[in-house]
Chains A and B, each alone.
Chain A
Amino acid sequence: AQSVTQPDIHITVSEGASLELRCNYSYGATPYLFWYVQSPGQGLQLLLKYFSGDTLVQGIKGFEAEFKRSQSSFNLRKPSVHWSDAAEYFCAVGLTGGGNKLTFGTGTQLKVEL
């Protein structure tokens, strides 16, 4: 069964600093990878997704993620964090044949210091 690991439960960065959120997956074939963001009291918003092709994926709000097959990773990055980026971030993996199921990581809570 596939699994997703987000090793950092909490991360604190200063506004304007760069950000990298880690995500590792375990899956035998090429996975379909997603990053979602959840602001306090809100639903889930898709930041970006990877299906195939270029391993560097651009998303909304200035985020990008890089798929590295050799490391089984799909880390999320942003060059300069804004205070409004404070939220919880979820990495997820999907597979063919599982309906529209996503397997989520446990999330990383991002705090931004002004």
Chain B
Amino acid sequence: EAQVTQNPRYLITVTGKKLTVTCSQNMNHEYMSWYRQDPGLGLRQIYYSMNVEVTDKGDVPEGYKVSRKEKRNFPLILESPSPNQTSLYFCASSERGTGAPGNTIYFGEGSWLTVV
């Protein structure tokens, strides 16, 4: 079964304590992304990756880091979390870029992160 798996699903942490949200896909996809969802703002892309060792900033990258050392994994790192990073985070993957005919983007189930 095609899956994008995120962990943890729920986390409450304190300001400044480094954390990592993992994302793994089992479809051998080249493209992966991270989004955050905030009320009234929809989903906004944080970072994306087009292949191993190839990453780039999305619309809201400040305060986040990513790495892509293996094709299946794309962790999101918050080096020093702040309360304004409290959000619902989604990882997404796809075989090809958005404009490729028939391409489907798969989303994980989301990670609720609260920074106090």
Q: List residues of chain A with CB under 8 Å of any chain B CB.
A: 4, 9, 32, 34, 36, 42-44, 46, 49, 51-52, 90, 92, 94-107
Q: How far is the CA of A36 from the CA of B100 in the complex (A)?
A: 18
Contact across chains for B98 and A43 when beta carbons are under 8 A apart: no
B91 to chain A, nearest CB (A): 10
> Of B33, B42, B102, which is in contact with the most chain A CB atoms at under 10 Å from its CB?
B42
A35 to chain B, nearest CB (A): 13
Q: How far is the CA of A106 from the CA of B39 in the complex (A)?
A: 8
Contact across chains for B98 and A106 when beta carbons are under 8 A apart: no
**Residues A106 and B41 in contact in the complex (CB < 8 Å), given A97-B97, A99-B97:** yes
Q: How large is the interface on B (under 10, 10 to 19, 20 to 34, 35 or more residues)?
A: 20 to 34
One digit per residue, 1 when the CB lies within 8 angstroms of any chain A CB and 0 when it does not, for chain B 56-94 equals 101000000000000000000000000000000010111
Q: List 12 A-B contacts (CB under 8 A).
A: A4-B42, A94-B105, A96-B97, A98-B97, A99-B31, A100-B97, A101-B98, A102-B105, A103-B45, A104-B42, A106-B41, A106-B42
Q: How far is the CA of A107 from the CA of B37 in the complex (A)?
A: 11
Contact residue among B33, B42, B104 (Cβ-Cβ distance under 8 Å from A90): B42
**Residues in chain B near residue A98, CB distance under 8 A:** 97-98
A-B CB proximity, top 3 nearest: A94-B98, A96-B99, A104-B42
Q: How far is the CA of A107 from the CA of B42 in the complex (A)?
A: 6
Contact residue among A4, A32, A43, A90 (Cβ-Cβ distance under 8 Å from B99): A32
**Residues A102 and B104 in contact in the complex (CB < 8 Å), given A43-B90, A44-B90, A90-B42:** no
Q: How far is the CA of A79 from the CA of B24 in the complex (A)?
A: 38
**Residues in chain B near residue A99, CB distance under 8 A:** 31, 33, 48-50, 56, 97-98
A94 to chain B, nearest CB (A): 3
